[in-house]
Structures are given as structure tokens and as C-alpha cells.
Amino acid sequence: MEDLERMPRPSPLGDRITVTLHYLVDRMDRYADQLLQERFGMSYSQFMFIAVLADLAPPPDITTLATCLGVSKAAVSKRVPSFVEAGWVATRADPANARRVLLEITPAAGRLLDEALPVLERSFTETFDDLDGVDLTRLHDDLKTVIRHLDSKEH
Amino acid sequence: MEDLERMPRPSPLGDRITVTLHYLVDRMDRYADQLLQERFGMSYSQFMFIAVLADLAPPPDITTLATCLGVSKAAVSKRVPSFVEAGWVATRADPANARRVLLEITPAAGRLLDEALPVLERSFTETFDDLDGVDLTRLHDDLKTVIRHLDSKEH
DNA sequence: GAAATTTGGTCAACCTGTTGACATTCAAGG
DNA sequence: CCTTGAATGTCAACAGGTTGACCAAATTTC
């Protein structure tokens, strides 16, 4: 962050909803990242990796986790060793298929999630509950409608 | 894209607005990227670099462009050579400051923008104009309200 | 059952971002 | 002047993403 001005920057491409969306997502990610870094010594991206993995049952293989994270299997394959080394993920062989690598979180990662999830949740609600003039539920529904609309257009 | 399932994936972290926002932004970016790749042989990221640069006057230095793009100056510094080589950007020295590197788009990049911007614009409006049940202007205003709210909380 | 295809993982090469350290230049202050 | 400090750009090392090529294992097809 060394040299980034993080306040609203002059929007050179006008007042477009796409620009606003990017800015908001960046903002939220940066916030979550900072919180996780300070309190738990991990990045948002690492947190998501473990949180998504933890929610998958039975233990997924690399391809399945990649799909759920929305990235390529090569991306997951490359990251696994560092997670194993950090003690957050354990790999296991699939007795039924010698090619597959099954992934599980470790108990340590489970404890970390049990701590971090409520912290994130609390900071999220604290941030949003006194937002007046905006109905968050409606906003969320609108966003989902837009997505459904895009899906229906087969982009 | 080789192996990514791009349809809605099981959302392992529940029905959160943050997840929805990420998904929507990804979706839009991927769409723009594909369009620009097919029609103009450039990525969305390259397009943004040039489009933002084109809107800045007078010709910005590397630090200014970095700020406007929302990335570090090292990131811009590294990318400049490839843009120069592609014939989209020209660098110039600042007579008043030997350290500064001033950046400008080339006429070729200008013509490319003149072509690409309306194409993007048209595909955007075509995609969104028959969206019923959602007031895009209100949606945009809501998003901006959320951002203002975050800004006011000094995150 | 052998051959062809699909599936799963890894690798190399690349793109794009970060931070921190560094050199250089410019602007001030003594 | 000359020294100090801020501004500017670059570099190295890293994190994380992509694609395309590739191998090996599993599955399908003939």
C-alpha cells in the first residue's frame, strides 16, 4: 500500500456503475484483508482458500476446490504446498483413484476459522447496520437479479 | 478458461452480499475481457490502462497514472515497456524534472479507443436496458451510498 | 482386452499485482 | 554552498492468476 492514495480517486471514465462496483469490492476486500492480517496473520485470499475448503464435504480434490474458488486447477495446485507447510491443509490420497489428491483442513485451521468467522461477521454487521437510505436486502436482491439476467443472456 | 466451470457455483459461504458482489464483478470483467480480446486483441486490463491514461491531461507521470489506476507505481513502471513496444504508449521526459517519465497514448491507441469505447458502451446498454424489476440508477446510487458510508467510517 | 478418450495433476512461461530497498533528482534550510 | 529530506522511478523477491503442453490413471468403446 506504500504509495497508494486510497481515497476516492478522480474517475476518468465517468460515473459508471461498473467503476463503482469495482471500487466497492476493492474497498471491502482491502478492509477484510487488513483485519485478517492484523488479527490472524493471514491474507483474505488465504482465508477464502481455507474457508471454502472447510465447507466442502467430503474432502474435495484439487479440481473441485478450484471450481469452488473460481480459479484454475493449476492455481490451486501451486498454492497447496505452502498451505501444507503452514499447517493449515493436509493432503490425502484417494484409494479409488491414484491420480486424485484429496484436500482437508487441519484442526488448527478449523480453530482459526472458528475464531475468524465471527470476527468478520461482527465487523460486517457493525459496518452495515446503521446504513440508512439503503435497504441492504433489496440491494442484494437487485444484484442477484442482474446476475440472473446476465446468465439468461448466455454471456 | 480451459477448465473453469463458469456457471453459478455452490456458494459455500452462504448467501452473502459480498460473495454476490464478487461474482457480479467477475462476470462483468470476464465479459468485457472476452469482447475486447475478440474484437481488438487486447485484455480488459490493457484497455483500462490506455483508457485511463487517455483521459488524463496533461500527460501524467508514472506515479499519477498509478494513483488513477489504483495500483502501485512499481506496477505501472513494469508494464510501460510492453505498451511502448505494442505501439500504444509513448514516453517523454519532463524538461523540468529529470526523474519524471511522462506518459501519453499514441495516435494508434487513440483510434483504438475511439472504436472500442462505443462497442463497450453499446454492449453494456444492450445488456442492461431490458432489466425489469431493477432500477439501475437507484442501484448505482445505493452502491455509492454504501461507499460513502464506508469512507465516513475511516476504514 | 486393446485402443482411444477423458480426467486429474503438474509444469513452464507468462502477466500483473505487492512490498521494501535502492539510486537519483529536486527542493529547502541552515 | 551544502546538507538534508521528499519525490520519482526501478529493481528484486514474492504471491497469485492464466494458458497450453504434458504425463499418468481411469474409463469408454470397439
Q: Answer for B71: CB within 7 Å of strand D.
A: no
Grid cell for residue A128: 452495515
Report pLDDT for A42: 93
Other Cβ atoms closer than 10 A to A134: 17
Report pLDDT for B8: 37
CA-based R_g, chain A, Å: 19
Query: In chain A, where are the structural domains located?
Result: 1-41, 43-112
Q: Answer for B9: CB within 7 Å of strand D.
A: no
From the list A12, A70, A145, which residue is nearest B26 (CB)? A70
| Cβ contact, residue pair A71, B4, below 8 Å | yes
CATH topology of domain A43-112: Arc Repressor Mutant, subunit A (1.10.10)
Alpha carbon distance B32, B123 (integer Å): 9
pLDDT 10s digits, B33-81:
888 988 888 999 999 999 999 999 899 999 999 999 999 999 999 999 9
Q: State the 10-residue block means of pLDDT for chain A, 155 residues long.
A: 42 72 89 89 94 92 95 96 94 91 95 91 82 83 86 66
Other Cβ atoms closer than 10 A to A109: 23
- Concatenated DSSP letters of A80-125: HHHHHHTTSEEEEEETTEEEEEEEEE-HHHHHHHHHHHHHHHHHHH
